[in-house]
Amino acid sequence: MATIKVSVVSAEEKIFEGDAELVSLPGVSGELGILRGHEPLITLIRPGTVRIHKAKDEIDEIFVAGGVLEVQPTVVTVLADTAIRTKDLDEARTVEALEAAKSQREQVKGDLEIAKVEAEISALSAQLALIKKIRQHR
């Protein structure tokens, strides 16, 4: 099967760079599957898992807290707000961060601050759901 160049980066670091047969991820309008030759596309992505299907049924999974996807016929670029390899997710740290964000939500006043905290709560909730799903499959 033909491959496509994939790059997943966050503000902190480059998480993945390599070839894949398929990239699937959560777009704002639903799940997206990208193969080589896909029409050019730029869209927002929502919190969830980017699955990079490499040769021989090997799949890399990366949690993203949202961001932007750019697709060209031979290149996929994910610019994530936050990106963490699923093997590096920490349930205790995520629960602690989620509780802190919920506590902060009760204290913020302005619309912009409320929106920022609610986006953080949404991303952390998605991350925690993924951690629980991974734990069930082990």
Q: What pTM did the predictor assign?
A: 0.79
Which are the contacts of 22, defined by CB distance < 8 A and separation ≥ 6?
Answer: 33, 34, 35, 51, 53
pLDDT in tens, 21-50: 999 999 999 999 999 999 999 999 998 899
pLDDT in tens, 81-127: 889 898 888 888 989 999 999 999 888 888 999 898 998 898 888 88
Select from 98, 66, 95 the least CA-distant residue to 79.
66
Task: For residue 112, give the amino acid letter.
Answer: L
pLDDT score of 14 more than 70: yes
Per-residue confidence band for 138, with pLDDT thresholds at 50, 70 and 90: low
